[in-house]
Chains A and B, each alone.
Chain A
Amino acid sequence: MAQSERMIDIAGVHKTFVADHGTVTALEPVSITIKAGEFISIVGPSGCGKSTLLRLISGLDQASGGTIALDTAGRKRPVGFVFQEPVLLPWKTIIENVRFPLDTAGVSRAQSDKIALDLIKMVGLAGFEKALPRQLSGGMRQRAAIARSLSDDPPILLMDEPFSAVDLMTRDTLNDELLRIWLSTGKTILLVTHSVDEAAYLADRVMVMTARPGKLKCIHNVDLARPRGDETKLDPAYHALVAQLRRDLRTSGGEAH
């Protein structure tokens, strides 16, 4: 994989909202270049603009200024998005949900079924293809949402606090699975999280953001060995980084956990 390729180029991107009592700055100008295949975590307290940044990159919202360039060769759907909640279509089965991006892009059923079944297996939901979302647990639904976001093979995966609604045990498992998926697919991943542990454990680089107004405070390189696992969590360097991240957040007056 060409690690030097620039996948996402963000230059001076900012966002302001017009509210009743004047304009609110959701995000002060941010600039960063993200390489292809990189795993970036974004941590920060509520209101630091981390979700806003993700929505701007995905094109769900328009920036008030600055430029975002994606090196995705004019694909119609350059990014996959995993929301905080699964956002599955409740009337469709798991396989229909995973297949949904393909079905709506006119991919043949034989091909889309094959892709969907592979992804369902990859996220560990084999046997639940015909189940409806309401029949699954929160963690399983989130796995299905991840499978759906990968089904039309976007080069970039944006994840907005994807595991905040699941319990801690499931969260650890899902984190390890996410790393496995990342290694096997080579996606460029941006993951927004409240948890500094999660951010340090997963990423190549951690963006620390602070609130009111939302801005990028600093970026840490994570030099922990890959593949990561239980040993990583015993590594003093990991703990030093987590402590550093906490300090970064605390001095800014934010309230991360």
Chain B
Amino acid sequence: MAKRLAAWVDYALALILLLAAWWFATGPMEMPTYLLPSPLRTWNALVGIAVTGELCVHLGFTLQNIVLGLVLGCVAGVALAYLMTRFPKLAVWLDGPLVILQTAPKIALAPLFVVWFGFGILSKIILIFSLVFFPVFIGSVAGFRSLDPKLKDLAKLLGLSTFQRFRQIELPSAMPEVLVGLKIGAVQALVGAVLAEWMSGKFGLGYLMTFASATYKTPLLFAAVLMTVVLGLLLHVMLTMLENRLLSWKGAKK
């Protein structure tokens, strides 16, 4: 408990130092606002859009896309990895195409996704999905392949059905690697979501950034950037909680 408190104090101190440096640059050093708005101005811009309800709309839109992309990418990644370990033939067929898709820079494909799937939410979800899918898929393949053969014996001995095998043995045993993939994927998802909103549409934190920079509202731009940082932290906390819950049996850190 005391250790935890000490960690929080360290966090808080680091943040305060950062804020102080920021304030120092804008106050005594007199950096112009269009380059670096003061913490107060940024805060005011944030409160401004929060009061009108805009913030909620943009934040909600981005978060919704991230969650959708994460869930879909995660399910598809685990599912394909499972099928490929179950049917080795499938792995042989899909290996080539998957390597090409995996090495293709998804960010560079983003404009293409807009052309193919329109300006709406679909192209955004597909970009996020493509970014989440591969880390989760690769993690899951490693997880399913590392299954202890003795656990396979146990499953065979008990005559478990395919579903029981998957639910009771294969998935929990692959979970550590799946979560490693998911954590990498979540960072990518945030990047993908913001990028997709830069390209098209009228909603989301990414849109807010392009709007703010196009109209020289640097405090608003800063506010939007700050919110993406908060969103990233939120995702991190959520995934850590999930990890602690699912992997507590490994003696994972509390």
- On A, residues with C-beta under 8 Å from B are 58-60, 76-77, 79, 81, 83, 85, 87, 89-92, 100-101, 104, 132, 134
Contact = CB atoms under 8 A, between A and B. Distances in A.
29 contacts: A58-B157, A59-B156, A59-B157, A60-B156, A76-B159, A77-B158, A79-B157, A81-B153, A81-B154, A83-B153, A85-B150, A87-B150, A87-B151, A89-B151, A89-B169, A90-B249, A90-B250, A91-B172, A91-B173, A91-B175, A91-B249, A100-B168, A101-B158, A104-B158, A104-B164, A104-B168, A132-B249, A134-B250, A134-B251
Say what secondary structure dominates the interface of chain B.
Answer: helix
B159 A77 contact: yes
Interface residues of B, number: 19
A239 B156 CA distance: 40
B160 interface: yes
A104 B160 contact: yes
A89 B150 contact: no
Nearest to A93: B249
Given A60-B157, A83-B150, A87-B154, 10 more contacts: A58-B157, A60-B156, A76-B159, A87-B150, A87-B153, A89-B168, A91-B173, A91-B249, A100-B168, A132-B249
Nearest to B172: A91
Nearest to B156: A60
Closest 6 CB pairs of A and B: A91-B249, A87-B150, A91-B172, A81-B157, A104-B164, A132-B249
A222 B160 CA distance: 38
B49 to A, nearest CB: 45
A152 B61 CA distance: 52
Interface string B238-250: 0000000000011
A17 to B, nearest CB: 16
B210 to A, nearest CB: 45
A83 to B, nearest CB: 6
Interface of B: 148, 150-151, 153-154, 156-160, 164, 168-169, 172-173, 175, 249-251
Say what secondary structure dominates the interface of chain A.
Answer: loop
Contacts of A79: 157
Contacts of A59: 156-157
Nearest to B167: A104
Contacts of B151: 87, 89
Contacts of B251: 134
A76 B164 CA distance: 16
A91 B148 CA distance: 14
A70 to B, nearest CB: 14
Contacts of A92: 249
Contacts of A100: 158, 168
Nearest to B161: A104
Contacts of B153: 60, 81, 83, 87
A92 B151 CA distance: 13
Contact of B157 (A77, A85, A91): A77
A134 B154 CA distance: 19
A60 B173 CA distance: 21
Contacts of A132: 249
Contacts of A58: 157
Contacts of B157: 58-60, 77, 79, 81
A95 to B, nearest CB: 14
B211 to A, nearest CB: 47
Contacts of B250: 90, 134
Nearest to B168: A104
Contacts of B168: 89, 100, 104
Task: Point out which of B153, B164, B175 has the most chain A C-beta atoms below 10 A from its C-beta.
Answer: B153
Contacts of B158: 77, 100-101, 104
